[in-house]
Amino acid sequence: MLPRELKPEQFSSYPREAKALAVENLAVLRELPLSFIPSLLHEVIEFDYKFPAERNALEREMAGLAHVSSAQRSELMQGFSAIRVSAKLEQFDWVNFPGQFVEQLSAHLWTTHQLDTFRLAATAYADRMRAAVPVKAPPVPRLGITVIGAGVESYGEPLFRKLRPHGAYFSNIAPENGLDILLTAVADRAKVHDSPYAHWYIDGGESAAHSPSLTTISYAALEPVRAALLRKMHAEIAKPGMGPEALRTTMAQLRPVDLGLGAPGNDVLDRFQVKLLTEGSGTQIFSTSFTQWAAREALRRAEPTTLLVRFAPRQRQKPMNELLSPDAGRAELDVVGSLIDADMGAYYNWLNQQRLPGAETAALLAWFEGHTSAVVIGPTVPRGTVSNKSTDMKQLLSWIV
């Protein structure tokens, strides 16, 4: 089927708000090329379970597409229209399974050497939309905090090497009560600038005591969910003919209730957590991978104004089948390896925060937990500087918040 043949009843299986959004924009959808529209529907079909920031972004994108003439829309889509799509893909039920279509389209783009063309089209489209539909800066400058190295007694190599050129490195901070001070600062911001899903705390282990006003995810709290997921993966893989693509499809269809989540009123966060485990790579087995991916996805999707990420030790590497076994037992930890993972994760948190509106006013603090070194980045912090001056966490925060 081609987009021009779309009818309202074809969205009947969409959740309520998603269906309304699609039907309301049907005239626009009909004019979009097949290489583009399933990516958009992949977002639309999840509309009811999206964070406020991404709902707003999707509505703005739809409005941006609707408010131009057909000729302008056609010109906007020129790059995508040039993509050759196979007859097999045309016949796929891309309305009801847009995510699977996108995966198959991706494979098609690789095999037909059209990936570079698609990348150029996507980049050009994003640039045009950004220019046409300006995004709003956050109500308060964003603050990112990354805490790394839990459980590491000493480490001789330099840390924060990738972050240091962007801010000031401190080597003599008082570590006492550091985490409490940071969590209090985050809670204070949540109190003053209250907004749904605006202030997050992600912990790679067990979460520390924190304000209930924070959106919180902890790897330890998800342990039963991970175990349920691993059991399902084992069961699926044992089925004859099961390959990686089929497994990925099965995992993508899992709902919170399938994994023991699904408390009333928690739909959005539950689905987010399930996606972290079913769509993330390595998130099921390594807490550092989970923490980095959770932070990345929280920033990309929820666009929080405050995000505190604390990495915890991950299990040591073992054979993959053993790592994925639901009966693996208590794992031996790799604290130094986890520190190295987290050091890179802190840099990625900064990069991902910089991709959001208001990047020029955003600030970041990264701290080696329980130790005296930290780096702070912000609009007023001199870049690439080092300080040996004795200071504490409150003072560090005061320079960037």
Partner 1 sequence: MKPFDQFGRDVSRSRREFLRDAAGVTFGSTLLRSPLARAAVVSKNRKVVVITFGGGARDQETFAPEGQGNVPNMMRGLIPRATFFTQVVNHGILGHYVATASLATGAYETINNFAGLPPENPTVFEYYRKELKRPSSDTWVVAPSNGFNHIGESSHRSFGPGLGARVILPKHLLTAAMGSGPADYQHLLRDNYETPYYTPELSGGEVELEQLENLLKLSVADFKTHARTLSSPDELSVYIAKQLMRQVAPSLLWITMHDIDIAHAGTYSLYVEGIRRTDQLCAEVWKTIETEPEYSGKTTLLILPDFGRDSDEDAGGNGFQHHRTGDPLSRTTWLIAMGPGIREGVVYDRPVDSLDLVPTIGSMMGFSASLSKGRPITEIV
Minimum Å distance from CB 11 to partner 1? 27
Radius of gyration from C-alpha coordinates of the chain: 23
As beta bridge partners, residue 217 has 202
In this chain, which stretch among 10-18, 66-74, 117-125, 170-178 interacts with partner 1, using CB under 8 A?
117-125
d(CA 316, CA 232): 23
Minimum Å distance from CB 23 to partner 1? 30
Does residue 111 touch partner 1 according to CB under 8 A?
Answer: yes
User: Is 257 within 8 Å of 225 (Cβ atoms)?
Assistant: no
Looking at the Cβ atoms of 54 and 343, the one nearer to partner 1 is 343
With vertex at residue 192, the alpha carbon angle to CA 367 and CA 312, rounded to the nearest 5 degrees, is 25
Residue showing tokens 């640039």: 127
Looking at the Cβ atoms of 213 and 250, the one nearer to partner 1 is 250
d(CA 389, CA 170): 7
Does residue 104 touch partner 1 according to CB under 8 A?
Answer: no
Q: Mask 155-194, x = binds partner 1 (CB under 8 A)?
A: ------x---------------------------------
Among 116, 327, 332, 360, binds partner 1 (CB under 8 A): 116
d(CA 105, CA 369): 44
Q: Which of 150, 147, 169, 146 is nearest to 337 (CA)?
A: 150
In this chain, which stretch among 34-42, 80-88, 216-224, 342-350 interacts with partner 1, using CB under 8 A?
342-350
Q: Mask 255-294, x = binds partner 1 (CB under 8 A)?
A: -------------------------xxxx-xx-xx--xx-
Minimum Å distance from CB 126 to partner 1? 9
Minimum Å distance from CB 120 to partner 1? 8
Does residue 336 touch partner 1 according to CB under 8 A?
Answer: yes
In this chain, which stretch among 11-19, 206-214, 216-224, 314-322 interacts with partner 1, using CB under 8 A?
314-322
Q: Where are the alpha helices (DSSP H) in 285-374?
A: 287-297, 320-323, 335-354
Looking at the Cβ atoms of 244 and 264, the one nearer to partner 1 is 244
Among 12, 317, 390, 395, binds partner 1 (CB under 8 A): 317
Does residue 18 touch partner 1 according to CB under 8 A?
Answer: no
As beta bridge partners, residue 377 has 364
DSSP symbol at 168: E
Minimum Å distance from CB 175 to partner 1? 23
**191-197 long-range contacts, Cβ below 8 Å, gap at least 24?**
192/140, 193/139, 193/140, 193/305, 195/52, 195/139, 195/305, 196/51, 196/52, 197/51, 197/52, 197/53, 197/268, 197/269, 197/302, 197/304
Minimum Å distance from CB 311 to partner 1? 11
The tokens describing 393, both together, are 């966490």
d(CA 391, CA 398): 11
Name residues contacting partner 1, limited to 219-248 (CB under 8 A).
233, 237, 242-245, 247
Binding site for partner 1 (CB under 8 A): 110-111, 113, 115-116, 119-120, 122-123, 161, 233, 237, 242-245, 247, 280-283, 285-286, 288-289, 292-293, 296, 314, 317-324, 334, 336-341, 343-345, 347-348, 351, 355
